Amino acid sequence: MSDSASITTGAEKPAAHDDHHGHYGVPGYDPAAWKMGMWLFLFTELLLFGAMFIVFAVYLHKYIWQFAAGSVQLDIPIGTFNTLVLLTSSMTMALAIAVLQRGKKELAIKLLDFTLGCAALFCVVKSFEWGGKFEHGIYPGSLHLAAMTLGEQIFFGLYFTMTGLHALHVIVGAGLILWCRARIKSGAVHAERITFMDNIGLYWHLVDLVWIFLFPLFYLVG
Amino acid sequence: MSQANDHHDEPHLIPYKTYILVWLGLCSLTLLTVAVSYANMRHMTIPVALMVASLKCTIVVLWFMHIKFENRVLWWFLIAAVGTYVIFVILTFADYSYR
Amino acid sequence: MSTQALPAMEQVDYIRAQKGLRSWLTTVDHKRIAIMYLIAIVSFFVVGMILGLLMRAELLSHGEQFLSGAAYNRILTLHGVIMIFLFIIPSIMAVFGNFVLPIQIGANDVSFPRLNLASWYFYMAGAALALWSVGVGGVDTGWTFYVPYSGNTDANVVLPMLAAFLLGWSSILTGINMVTTVHRLRAPTMGWRQMPLFVWGIYATAWIAVLATPVIGITLVLVLFEKFFHVGIFNASMGGDPILFQHLFWIYSHPAVYIMVLPAMAVVSEIVPVFSQKRIFGYRFIAMSSIAIAAIGSLVWAHHMFTSGMADEGRIIFSFLTFFVSVPSAIKVFNWLATMYKGSIRIELPMLFAFAFIFLFSIGGFTGLLQAALSIDIHIHDTAFIVAHFHYTMFGGTGVMFFGAMYYWWPKMFGRMYNKAAGMVGFLLFFVGFNTLYFPLFVAGLKGMPRRYADYLPEYEGYHALSTYGSWIMVTGLLILIFNLIGSLRCLRFWGTDAEENPWDAASLDWKVPSPPPTHQFASEPIIVGGPYDYPIPHLGDDDKQAGKAEVKA
Ligand SMILES: [Cu+2]
């Protein structure tokens, strides 16, 4: 209830806002909302990996020398190679969006294919790395690992957990890129309706970001 | 304060060259941090590695994730999220750094 | 607040818009999703209440009555899991945030309607897992799932942990939706300072849900990894630190208590000005204190761990920081009281619930300050004092305002007014029973009664017996309150009357649409003039630039 009613009609509404809303009646296409929602989702990923980095930091603080001893058992050239692979895939993802914004559909799909190739390469290298560790008897619950110092056991526990969860995100990200590729092909995503691709790009860059921290913390503390 | 300025329909067109330069920068920072780790600086290794990683992270967020070209609301969002995380880290160490 | 509401009176309301169970299970209408949450949440509340009654009955006198220690522990865990994860955390946010918030900001739905439905399914899946865990023997870890016990126990902790994980995602998705909705779907003529305080409260809550919940999600996943893949993370025999689990657990779970209570405070901020017919006092302070609670609430988690073996310096820092979190809550209480001062107060049921909130939450808050003091907490940690404290804040706060919100918005949601006299009786029984139930636990706790015990020494019998009698009075009141609402529904019409569009003379936008609203409550964009608290009585020294003075900017 209001006593100071100064009612305006819909017809008199300020023109400046006309472009703002498509949500009266049918829900409209609001790229800014989708982008905002995507960023909020990325924050949950940030905090999810962030919590694991807190665990890492606490044990690094506690077992600094044992972590160094664990770290030297990882292969720096392989880690570096994988870092460069992911960075490159991030660039091709960004380029794919930039290309599609300019209407070049075929080139965008090629760049996405390249990005997918990088994702696959990353996973293959990662699995060889894990396989190598398993061959040396280093895997969760192994006797060889149980014979190591407590700090090294934690180091490898975190190594498998964190790189494993990261690899899972790479796989999910690749799946999303495949989906995006299909939608570009079908014409659902194009220069004017590119928010979907933008958001998948954001997710892919987040996967890259996590690795940017994982790499030095696991490979370079030795 | 009309919220019409959260509006961002026209995507900002970033030249291809920017992305390639950013990529080159990220790769050289990666090689730099690896080189530093071989230099065996003992207790400086981790701080240097973390600083380089943070720098790379900032570059990715600003250009690849084009936060640099976004409106102010997303900047505030990012500050809130990262700030919260930093608080969690610092206060966890309010315990662990004294143990 | 005045608007060009343009209600399409002839339109059929959202309940009758479609028929059949399928139309409900596939709906993307925020109002229908809210109703589905309401049904689920009230049902789980009743289940949790029955479990609580069982525990109280066991504690009626000393010695074993009808529950073994093991059974008691399982019931206690289930009571905690249901009440925390299935009732309090989603309660006001999911039901009234969904139903009321879009209407209050002049929107026709939330930003991501399908995501909204998905988060209801996440909720139901989590609930199913939690109940399934009972079927396979139950869990006796307590709702906190502390390691090392949760890692070693043979009980099936996977199901409740996965349940908590899914429920966490449900509240994250709701949070993402609410934040985006407030930013993107506010009527273009509604400035931030013209938003109702309920919207501010839900907005702050949504942020906490987004930023804190992932931490518990990953922590539970880590425990499961450790359990099944034998990776060393928290396990001390592999070099892990079990206290780190507690840190991560409370990094989420302390902010979670504000996920629980901020929406309740937001409801109080809506109800008090309406039933005082007076402009809200200190709009900006109430709005900002919600944000401040969200911010400061993330600084204090380790006050749950003062006896866990943390470093002394850490304990002192957290004790010190904890005192600050009471300041914004106190600001809210002062502003509510100042709003009532010289107002034209009507004693209706929603207002009674708001009074009860202020009284009970103040007791809960003050006893919280006692526990914030490190030295006192070491004495009362893990005693019944804590149990009394968090029931006063969580149940006396959020639980009470969940009922308050139901009694306030029921006419809007269902177009029916309940029987006020019966509601009054139910409220009084509830209030008396509540205090009889929980207050003795403060005293018993101070005298050394530990929490989570199925039995006790004879000297505590008086407190426990009184408490159990209280539980019977309280449950009688709660049942009257619930059945009063159910019996008033249009399909039953046992009592009550049809509700008008605005039975409380409220000024905010949610009362400008028909009761119940049509599926699309706003046929065209509402034009907002003035604030949500434009009541006849101005507040003293009306120098706030809020509400009443805000004009439309073109
Ligand atoms: Cu707390």
pLDDT in tens, B8-65: 445 568 899 999 999 999 999 999 999 888 887 777 888 889 999 999 999 999 999 9
Interface test with C, best of B6, B85, B95 (most C CBs within 10 A): B95
C191 touches chain B (CB under 8 A): yes
- Residue A222: the pLDDT is 76
Residue C467 confidence class, pLDDT cut points 50, 70, 90: very high
Is residue A16 in a domain?
no
- Whether the CB of A57 is below 8 Å from some CB of chain C: the reply is no
Q: Do A23 and C251 touch (CB under 8 A)?
A: no
Residue-range definition of the domain harbouring residue A153 = 34-219
Among C402, C376, C251, C259, residue whose Cα is nearest residue C323: C376
Instruction: Report the percent of chain C where pLDDT is more than 70.
Output: 95
For residue C290, report the distance from its CA to the centre of ligand 1, in Å: 16
User: At residue C141, what are phi and psi to the nearest 5 degrees?
Assistant: -85, -10
Closest residue of chain B to C291, computed from CA coordinates = B80
C-proximal residues of A, 118-177, CB under 8 Å = 140-141, 146, 149-151, 153-154, 156-158, 160-161
* Residue pointed to by tokens 């959202």: C14
Mutate to test the interface with B, among A61, A91, A213 (most CBs of B within 10 A): A91
Domain ranges (residues) in chain B = 3-70
Q: Residue B92 C-alpha to ligand 1 middle, in angstroms?
A: 15
Q: Which residue has the higher pLDDT, C547 or C212?
A: C212
Q: In chain A, how many domains are there?
A: 1
Chains that touch B (3 or more CB pairs under 8 A): A, C
Residues C554, C551: Cα–Cα separation, whole Å: 9
Q: Could you tell me if residue A163 is inside a domain?
A: yes
B11 in contact with A, Cβ within 8 Å: yes
Task: Label the pairing between strands C416-417 and C528-529.
Answer: unpaired
- Is-contact C304 C246, C-beta < 8 A? yes
Contacts of C10 (CB under 8 A, 6+ apart): none
Higher pLDDT, B92 or A25: B92
Quickly list H helices, C277-399. 283-296, 312-324, 326-340, 349-372, 374-380, 384-390
Taking alpha carbons only, the member of C219, C338, C209, C218 closest to residue C273 is C338
Q: Which range in A66-70, C132-136, C472-476, C532-536 is most confidently predicted, on average pLDDT?
A: C472-476
Q: Chain C partners of A43 at a C-beta cutoff of 8 Å? A: 210-211
Confirm or reject contact between B89 and chain A (CB < 8 A).
yes
* pLDDT of amino acid A25: 39
**Band of residue A120 on the pLDDT scale cut at 50, 70, 90:** very high
CA of A8 relative to ligand 1 center, distance in Å: 48
Mean pLDDT of A18-47: 75
Asked whether residue A4 is assigned to any structural domain, the reply reads no
Confidence band, pLDDT 50/70/90 cuts, at residue C408? very high
Query: H-helix or E-strand containing C2?
Result: strand C2-3
Q: Is the pLDDT of residue C128 over 90?
A: yes
Q: Give the distance (Å) from ligand 1 centre to CA of residue C287.
A: 22
Angle at C394 between CA C389 and CA C395, to 5 degrees: 100
Instruction: Say if B93 is an interface residue toward chain A (CB within 8 Å).
Output: yes
CA of C44 to the centre of ligand 1 (A): 24
Residue C490 has a CB neighbour count (10 Å cut-off) of: 14
- In angstroms, what separates the C-alpha of B41 from chain A's closest C-alpha? 10
Sign of CA dihedral C60, C63, C69, C71: negative
Best mutation target among C189, C208, C298 (most B Cβ atoms within 10 Å) is: C298
- Percent of chain C at pLDDT above 90? 78
Residue C218 tokens, joined: 């990953």
Provide the pLDDT for residue C510: 92
- What is the average pLDDT across C190-201? 94
Which CATH number goes with the domain that contains A202?
1.20.120.80
User: SS3 for C498?
Assistant: strand
Whether C99 and C202 have beta carbons less than 8 Å apart is answered as no
pTM here is 0.92
Q: Has residue A14 got a pLDDT over 50?
A: no
Say yes or no: B40 contacts chain C, CB-CB below 8 A.
no
Mean pLDDT of C249-278: 94
**CA–CA dist C280, C535 (Å, integer):** 9
Token pair in block for residue C543 = 């120098």
Q: What is the mean pLDDT of residues C31-45?
A: 96
A92 located within any domain:
yes
Average pLDDT over residues C24-41: 95
Instruction: Supply the pLDDT for residue C149.
Output: 87
Strands C528-529 and C2-3: antiparallel
Average pLDDT over residues C157-168: 92
Angle (nearest 5°) at CA C316 between C314 and C319: 110
Collect all residues of chain B within an 8 Å Cβ-Cβ radius of residue C298: 84, 87-88
User: Phi and psi at residue A9, in whole multiples of 5°?
Assistant: -100, 165
- Pick the closest to residue C281 from C297, C268, C264, C299 (CA basis): C268
Query: Ligand 1 centroid vs C218 CA: distance in angstroms?
Result: 20
Question: Does the residue A96 lie in any domain?
Answer: yes
CB contact (8 A) between residue B96 and residue A216: no
Q: How far is the C-alpha of C4 from the C-alpha of B87, rounded, in Å? A: 45
Q: What confidence tens digit (pLDDT) does each residue in A160-174 have?
A: 999 999 999 999 999
* pLDDT, tens digit, 9 for 90 and up, residues A125-148: 999 999 999 998 888 888 888 888
Examine the pLDDT at C545 and tell me if it is beyond 60.
no
pLDDT band at C462 (very low <50, low <70, confident <90, very high): very high
Q: Do B3 and C188 contact (CB within 8 A), yes or no?
A: yes
Evaluate if residue A13 carries a pLDDT over 50. Answer: no
The per-residue pLDDT of chain C, averaged, comes to 91
The pLDDT tens digits for A59-94 are: 999 999 999 999 999 999 999 999 999 999 999 999
pLDDT by residue (tens digit) across C81-122? 999 999 999 999 999 999 999 999 999 999 999 999 999 999
Cα-to-centroid distance, C471 and ligand 1 (Å): 25
> In chain C, how long is the greatest CA-to-CA distance?
72
Q: What pLDDT sits at residue C3?
A: 54
Q: Write the DSSP assignment of C411-439 as a string of letters.
A: HHHHSEE--HHHHHHHHHHHHHHHHHHHH
Q: How far is CA C382 from the centre of its chain?
A: 23
Contacting residues of B for C312, CB less than 8 Å apart? 98
Q: Do B85 and A47 touch (CB under 8 A)?
A: yes
- The torsion region of residue C343 among left (phi > 0), alpha (psi -120 to 50) and beta comes to beta
> Which amino acid is residue C498, in one-letter code?
D
Q: Can you tell me the distance from the alpha carbon of C480 to that of B11, in angstroms, rounded to the nearest whole number?
A: 57
Nearest by CB to B99, which of C207, C299, C311? C311
Residue A9 resides in a domain: no
CB B62 within 8 A of CB B68: yes
Within 8 A of B64 by CB-CB distance, chain A residues are 90-91, 93-94, 201, 205, 208
Residue A16 pLDDT: 34
Quickly count: other Cβ atoms within 10 Å of residue C230's Cβ.
16
Residue with tokens 């996967």: A207
Please name the member of A58, A62, A212 whose beta carbon is closest to the beta carbon of B60.
A212
Delineate the domains of chain C, giving CATH numbers in brackets: 30-553 (1.20.210.10)
